[in-house]
A and B are shown apart, each in its own frame.
Chain A
């Protein structure tokens, strides 16, 4: 009985949340173009929380369970030059000095994306 009540409770919350966000993909637009459904990332038809990063890595991973950015032709991690503050920095956003960050921190899908690095830095870039 308890489990049933919990499920009802969770589902009603989920429906509220779903109604609020509309489940629409407004960033990582490619996912919308591919017509991915909720369960493709959230593993459930009625998501109540963020997609687990394991599903992101399932498609985007570097095969070792991590994603550290697009590899160069010879399979190495690549860095690029980006404008930062009044000058530039050469970085790989997916190989942060902060270690592994969850994909959904920046790639928010149902909200405007944000570059987490800019909590401290000042990179002039847009996130997909």
Chain B
């Protein structure tokens, strides 16, 4: 008995040593000029800008590759660009700035917006010098300012070009699969970042500063529910954006602005765990359809389907939304095309010749969010009260026959009487999150601010982690291309501010 006890106490000692030792495992110290958390549109731009100004950079990315949602974006904001001049687009910085601030009712960071807009033309020239190719300025809404500069190869094209530069750049060390965990604070200043990966832990000390660029929190369901109030959120094209950067900055004393603002599009709702169905989303989001809510009432002018912001803002308010169209409209979609598109991935006027195939594929998966049948079938399957649904359709048909919409002012172009003697098609709609738009409050140079609105030395926040650009919702009217444009520009501006403070050259 004694022997066993003596033996086991030795084993326990060794075990305790191992356990204790493992907690004091070596963390490697790294010294650098600038450390950037997140290698998306903002992080890649910041890294290259910093390196080209003579700084040494550690670029951390928690995913297995770079770019994040930057791979899915389409165009970059720019004003007074060479491409606009080539097309006789005479927008000025002043006009676009005033349009945008008016749109936001001046409840946003005007100095930040102005700084971003003022840099935008030079940034596009810089991107071109880094190998990014552009198709040119375009519209994504009726009559909106043509500030949206479409990228050749879309977002993935920009990320590819910048990544190729980054991996060849001797000043930049890119660490993939290496999340930043915590900011290092020394003497009241943000001195660096603690990071870790499969090979160990790192304390990365940055003389110049830390730039946080982790893309917002669209993949963090708890944060989305908490800040946006959306129940059952659905998102598209967001990869691992769990709010890491925002949380790190808040822990270091930063204050926030605009948390809860989201950029959403209107599409088809998604059965659990599935991906957004782009063709069916496009078929639902059309001006010729009627949209009814859980009571069976229309609730908007379906013409707003042309503006994804307005469409999703309107849908968001309802308990449930179903788009309904008939066989005549179906034929129109097949032979003439969809009037409204979804950005560039679903082009407007796409002829949906394979409509039946798209529909039957979804039927085969027992998708509960598509229904083909009579008004009674739709009522039964959706729970919408039949009497009210019929009343809505009858009234709509009566008015459409006279080319008027006294309820929601829809233009005659989009008014069709629905043929209820043949099968109708219903698609459940949902607001789908493209990205979150609020985050850390910053000054015009992207320095994070504390609750006294003073800059926190050494801490910068760029891209979707920063707040102050939007009030209420995103907008396509004045400055479309702002999300991706701000990512790239804010990364550049933050890097340049650090370089200036370090006394290094600006490029």
Chain A residues with CB under 8 Å of chain B are: 2, 5-6, 8-9, 12, 49-50, 86, 96-102, 105, 116, 119-120
Contact = CB atoms under 8 A, between A and B. Distances in A.
Nearest to B64: A105
B223 interface: no
A119 B238 CA distance: 11
B21 A119 contact: no
Binding site secondary structure of chain B: helix
Interface string B321-357: 0000000000000000000000000000000001001
Chain A interface, >50% SS class:
loop
B113 interface: no
B18 A9 contact: yes
Nearest to A99: B163
B358 A8 contact: no
A50 B279 CA distance: 40
A72 B312 CA distance: 48
Interface in B7-37: 14, 17-18, 21-22, 25
A99 B64 CA distance: 11
Contacts of B163: 98-99
Size bracket, chain B contacts: 20 to 34
Given A97-B160, A101-B65, 16 more contacts: A2-B21, A5-B17, A6-B21, A8-B18, A9-B22, A12-B18, A49-B198, A49-B199, A86-B354, A86-B357, A98-B67, A98-B156, A98-B160, A99-B163, A100-B167, A101-B64
Nearest to A87: B354
Contacts of A2: 21
A38 to B, nearest CB: 17
Given A5-B17, A102-B64, A50 B354 contact: no
Contacts of A8: 14, 18
A105 B18 CA distance: 31
A71 B191 CA distance: 47
Contacts of B279: 86
Residue from B18, B67, B237, B239 having most chain A Cβ neighbours under 10 A: B18
A99 B66 contact: yes
Interface in B240-279: 279
